[in-house]
A and B are shown apart, each in its own frame.
Chain A
Amino acid sequence: NAGVTQTPKFQVLKTGQSMTLQCAQDMNHEYMSWYRQDPGMGLRLIHYSVGAGITDQGEVPNGYNVSRSTTEDFPLRLLSAAPSQTSVYFCASSYRGMSEKLFFGSGTQLSVL
């Protein structure tokens, strides 16, 4: 049972480049979410999904897009990377809701130069 799988683990981008962070879970969880972790800021919610075809914005959604075409996958897209998006990104899933026990991926460390 792999749980929540994130790829890549590390990524370096140049300002203006685009990329997609992948997230997949094999627990049949309806709820999936993306967080970013910055020093002194804790975890902040970017986008979340309550089921396939349904997404919504979190606390810091600007500069990011998401889609949820299947229950398993929840990719996060950076349209035009900015240095302010340098961060560690975590994907999480849960079975019963966004305020329930979350299962986290191992994170993606992103640097935007």
Chain B
Amino acid sequence: SQELEQSPQSLIVQEGKNLTINCTSSKTLYGLYWYKQKYGEGLIFLMMLQKGGEEKSHEKITAKLDEKKQQSSLHITASQPSHAGIYLCGADWGSEKLVFGKGTKLTVNP
């Protein structure tokens, strides 16, 4: 069974709209990483969350980790075409390796 679920798999929004991507773990997270991938490029680190209830923001992107440390959300406010790409979450379950979700493909239409 899938232990790290990302939803939705894909998302199409109009420029200026807000959106949320979720990452749900079947196990307690030691840490949760968010990465963004643009077509033809590698993954760029966005944010890392470790503490239950933690919230971090960078420009118009906010990531949160729930109190139970099993779910994280990535929220983009007033989306822009530059936000388009694939967003991946990576879970640290204390096994010394990150496990990645399948990714969420975001399209932002002008």
Contact = CB atoms under 8 A, between A and B. Distances in A.
Contact of A101 (B45, B94, B102): B45
B12 interface: no
A99 B42 contact: no
A5 B35 CA distance: 18
Contact of A98 (B41, B98, B101): B98
A43 interface: yes
B42 A58 contact: no
A40 to B, nearest CB: 6
Contact of A107 (B41, B48, B88, B103): B41
B88 A48 contact: no
Most buried by B among A35, A43, A104: A43
B9 to A, nearest CB: 8
A105 B97 contact: no
A105 B42 contact: yes
B102 A98 contact: no
Given A41-B102, A42-B88, A101-B33, A48 B42 contact: no
B30 A40 contact: no
A45 B97 CA distance: 9
B96 A107 contact: no
Interface of B: 30-31, 33, 35, 40-45, 48, 88, 90, 92, 94-98, 100-103
Given A41-B102, A45-B97, A104-B43, 10 more contacts: A4-B42, A6-B42, A42-B103, A58-B97, A90-B42, A98-B98, A99-B92, A101-B45, A106-B42, A107-B40
27 contacts: A4-B42, A40-B102, A41-B102, A42-B88, A42-B100, A43-B88, A43-B100, A45-B97, A48-B97, A90-B42, A90-B43, A97-B96, A98-B98, A99-B30, A99-B31, A99-B95, A99-B98, A101-B33, A101-B45, A102-B33, A102-B90, A104-B35, A104-B42, A104-B43, A104-B44, A106-B40, A107-B40
